[in-house]
A and B are shown apart, each in its own frame.
Chain A
Amino acid sequence: MMATKILDLPDTSYVLPGNRSCAGCGIGIALRQITAALEGKMVMTVPASCLTVLGGMYPISSVNVPWVNVAFPSTAAAASGIAAGLRAMGRADDMTVLAMAGDGGTGDIGIQALSGAAERNEDFLYLCYDNEAYMNTGTQRSGLTPAGARTTTTWAGKRENPKDLPAIMEAHNIPYVASTSAAYPTDVYDKVVKARGIEGLRYIHMNTPCPSGWGFDPKDTVRLGKMAVDAGLVVLYEVEDGVFRLTGRSASLAKAGKPLLPVGEYVATQSRFKGMSAETIAAVQAWVDTRWARYLARNAGSCLP
Chain B
Amino acid sequence: MSEREGGSTMEPGRRISMSRPAVGEAGATGQWRNSRPVMDPALCMAAKAGKVTCQICWAYCPDGCITQGAGPVIDLTYCKGCGICAEECPAYAIEMTPEALHGVCDLPEGEVR
Interface residues of A (CB under 8 A from B): 6-7, 9, 11, 13, 15-21, 23-29, 32, 56-64, 185-186, 211, 217-223
* B20 & A223 in contact (Cβ 8 Å cutoff): no
A23 touches B82 (CB 8 A): yes
Q: How far is the CB of B69 from chain A (nearest CB, A)?
A: 10
Of chain B, the residue at the smallest CB distance from A53 is B26
Nearest residue (CB) in A for B27 is: A18
CB pair B22 A28 closer than 8 Å: no
Would B52 and A219 count as touching, CB distance under 8 A?
no
Q: How far is the CB of A269 from chain B (nearest CB, A)?
A: 13
B22 and A61 contact, CB distance less than 8 A: yes
**Chain B: minimal CB distance from A7 (Å):** 6
Contact with B21, one of A23, A29, A61 (Cβ below 8 angstroms): A61
Is the C-beta of B75 less than 8 angstroms from some C-beta in chain A? yes
Q: Count of B residues near A, CB < 8 Å?
A: 44
Known: A18-B24, A27-B62. A219 touches B53 (CB 8 A): no
- Chain A minimum-CB-distance residue to B80: A23
Q: B84 near A: Cβ within 8 Å?
A: yes
User: Of B28, B54, B96, which is within 8 A of A18 by CB?
Assistant: B28
User: Nearest chain-B residue to A32 (Cβ)?
Assistant: B64
Which chain B residue shows the least CB distance to A25?
B62
Listed residue (A11, A24, A32) with the most chain B CB atoms within 10 angstroms of its CB: A24
| A9, A18, A220, A223: the one within 8 Å of B78 (CB) | A18
Interchain CB contact under 8 A, A64 and B80: no
Please determine whether A62 and B78 come into contact, CB atoms closer than 8 angstroms. no
Question: Which residues of B pack against A, CB within 8 Å?
Answer: 7-8, 17-29, 32-33, 52-56, 58-65, 68, 75, 77-84, 86-88, 96
By beta carbon, the residue of chain A nearest B79 is: A17
- List the 6 closest A-B pairs by CB distance, nearest first: A219-B83, A28-B62, A18-B24, A24-B82, A17-B78, A23-B80
If A17-B23, A23-B32, A219-B83 are given as contacts, then 4 extra A-B residue pairs at C-beta distance below 8 Å, sorted by A number, are A23-B81, A27-B62, A62-B21, A222-B84
Chain A residues with Cβ under 8 A from B25's Cβ? 16, 18-20, 56-57, 60-62
A270, chain B: closest CB distance, angstroms: 15
Most buried by B among A6, A18, A185: A18
Residues of B within 8 A of A25 (CB): 62
> Complex: how many Å from CA A58 to CA B8?
10
CB<8 Å pairs between A and B, sample of 26: A13-B64, A16-B25, A16-B64, A17-B75, A17-B77, A18-B24, A18-B27, A18-B29, A20-B25, A20-B26, A23-B82, A24-B62, A28-B62, A29-B59, A29-B61, A29-B84, A32-B64, A58-B7, A58-B19, A62-B22, A62-B23, A62-B25, A211-B82, A218-B82, A221-B84, A222-B84
For A9, the chain B residues whose CB sits under 8 A away are 59
Taking the closest CB of chain B, its distance from the CB of A172, in whole angstroms, is 32
Q: Are B77 and A217 in contact (CB under 8 A)?
A: no
Q: What is the bound-complex CA distance between A21 and B24, given in angstroms? A: 12
Residue of B nearest to A16 (CB): B23
B22 with A24: CB separation less than 8 A: no
Which of B52, B55, B83 neighbours the largest number of chain A CB atoms within 10 Å of its CB?
B83
State which of A6, A13, A17, A219 has its C-beta within 8 Å of the C-beta of B96: A219
Closest to B26 in A: A20
Tell me the nearest residue of chain A to B37, going by C-beta.
A219
Give the distance in Å from the alpha carbon of A94 to the alpha carbon of B91 in the complex: 42
Of A18, A59, A221, the residue contacting B62 (CB under 8 A) is A221
CB contact under 8 A between A19 and B84, given known A7-B52, A27-B62: no
